[in-house]
Amino acid sequence: MKRIENYDLSSHNTFRMKVRCALYIEYETVEELQKLPWKELPQPIMHIGAGSNLLFTGDFPGTVLHSAVKFMKFVDMGLDDVLMTVGSGVVFDDFVARTCEAGLWGAENLSLIPGEVGASAVQNIGAYGAEVKDIISGVVCLDTTDWSKTVFKTPELAYGYRDSMFKHNKGRYIVTSVLFRLTRKYSPRLDYGGIRNALESQYPGITTAAAASAVSNGAHVLTPRMVRDAIIGIRRAKLPDPAEKGSAGSFFKNPVISREHFENIVKAEAGRAAAGVPALEVPHFDLPDGTVKVPAAWMIDRCGFRGAEKGGAKVYEKQPLVIVNESGNALPGDIISLEQDIISKVRETFGVELHPEVEHV
């Protein structure tokens, strides 16, 4: 177990904010965590993962806990379905890589998402038409009210878009491991954005029905590994490399608005054209309940923020949903001030309230 006082957290948050906490504890086993003298530790206590979805707004006066529980085990190798139990401190993408190497479907669309397994189950991370809840079968936690081990089945976790029961019971449960269900059954999900195109341009014909039926005859054509590689290519082209530039991925959630509100935005765009500004088609995705999702990145861009800077912080040129620590020395205040500018301008222009996806501490 690591236990360090007055600890510099800059390597524990991907925004690379130079902040400190009174005490940092990294445990390797659940028993170590259970034995901690909770009441004697500097308060408050917070648990972090890789810090890939966090913005520290200043020094943290209490204790930061981090899991180094790092096992990965296959627990049931059924005919189709395969169950895996994975420690909360495992790097999420190491888990995804392992499933793809084993030829298992289910996690491949979540390739290269930063973060660790424990936090993935809290945040319900998602990308390219998949969310981690789709492959979670159960989550093992410690309940900090009585230190009992509690196992939640997925329906009990009230998963939604980047949301779960854990977020509504802050600090109560600590995820110690996650049970995933993967499958050998051919089940690629290629309908999101550019996945199919990326695969087709590399392997013509591979995503067709004929190629899929060849699989049922025993010939493996498209593999989870190939989908993983395509997703990695798409992400690298659009998102900053965390090793090069600090960021926390998408800074805002994508807003969902009423159809009427959406139509008004479309009309306003047409009005702009009349004023001589080129009208843009408003990108959108219709949801089953009649509401409409409009990408926050488009609104941010339309408000002129692509590449905008505030102190050391910058709106990422290739993807305006991301704020980066451009100078490497950005202060929390630089990021917050850029965030506030974006929220106000988007509200004023589109009447839409953006909400950060990144948790502020």
Residues belonging to the active site: 162, 250, 357
Residue 13 lies near ligand EPU (rule: CB under 6 A): no
DSSP letter assigned to residue 165: G
Residue 45 or 132 having the CB closest to ligand EPU? 132
Termini Cα distance of the chain: 24
Of the candidate spans 11-19, 22-30, 247-255, 339-347, the one that interacts with ligand EPU by CB under 6 A turns out to be: 247-255
Q: Which stretch binds ligand EPU (CB under 6 A): 6-14, 16-24, 65-73, 248-256?
A: 248-256
User: Is position 250 an interface residue for ligand EPU (rule: CB under 6 A)?
Assistant: yes
Contact 81, 30 (CB under 8 A): no
Work out how close the CB of 21 gets to ligand EPU at its nearest, in angstroms, rounded to a whole number: 24
Shortest Å, Cβ 59 to ligand EPU: 25
* CB burial of residue 238 (10 Å; 0-12, 13-18, 19+): middle
Q: In whole angstroms, how large is the CA radius of gyration of the chain?
A: 22
Binding-site string for ligand EPU from residue 79 to residue 118, where x marks contact by CB under 6 A and - marks none: ----------------------------------------
CA atoms of 67 and 58, how far apart (whole Å): 22
Would you say 24 or 128 has its CB closer to ligand EPU? Answer: 128
Give the strand order in the sheet containing 313-315. Answer: 246-250, 322-325, 313-315, 309-310
Choices 142-150, 249-257, 261-269, 305-313; region in contact with ligand EPU by CB under 6 A? 249-257
Under the binding rule (CB under 6 A), the answer on residue 14 touching ligand EPU is no
What is the residue-wise DSSP string for 236-259? HHHS--TTTSEEEEE-BPPPEE-H
Q: Report the candidate in 90, 30, 56, 134 with the shortest Cα–Cα distance to residue 325.
A: 56
The least distance separating ligand EPU from the CB of residue 215, rounded to whole angstroms, comes to 24
Nearer to ligand EPU, 74 or 192 (CB): 192
CB 6 within 8 A of CB 22: yes
Q: What φ, ψ does residue 106 adopt, rounded to 5°?
A: 135, -40
* Smallest distance, ligand EPU to C-beta of residue 359, A: 12
Q: Which two tokens stand for residue 19?
A: 């902040």
Task: Figure out which of the listed residues 93, 339, 357, 359 binds ligand EPU, where binding follows CB under 6 A.
Answer: 357
Is residue 128 a contact point for ligand EPU (CB under 6 A)?
Answer: yes
Residue 22 CA to residue 25 CA, distance in Å, equals 10
Report, in Å, the least distance between residue 162 CB and ligand EPU: 7
Residue with the CB atom nearest ligand EPU in the bound state: 249
Span 204-233, contacts to ligand EPU by CB under 6 A: none
Given candidates 14, 63, 254, 325, which one binds ligand EPU under the rule CB under 6 A?
Answer: 254
d(CA 356, CA 343): 9
Cα of 297 vs its chain's centroid, Å: 16
Q: Which of residues 284-303 bind ligand EPU (CB under 6 A)?
A: 285, 293, 295, 297
Distance CA 39, CA 36 (A): 9
Report if residue 352 touches ligand EPU, rule: CB under 6 A: no
Cis before 283 (ω within 30): no
What's the length of the chain? 361
Give 67's strand partners.
Answer: 27
Of 172, 253, 306, 347, the residue at the interface with ligand EPU (CB under 6 A) is 253
Chain residues 139-198 in contact with ligand EPU, contact rule CB under 6 A: 192-193
d(CA 321, CA 306) in angstroms, rounded, equals 9
Which CB sits closer to ligand EPU, 13 or 250?
250
- Cβ–Cβ < 8 Å for 125, 92: yes
Q: Which of 174, 173, 177, 198 is nearest to 188 (CA)?
A: 198
Binding mask 302-331 for ligand EPU (x = CB under 6 A): -----------------x-x----------
Minimum distance from residue 250 beta carbon to ligand EPU (Å): 3
Residues that bind ligand EPU (CB under 6 A): 127-128, 192-193, 249-250, 253-254, 285, 293, 295, 297, 319, 321, 357
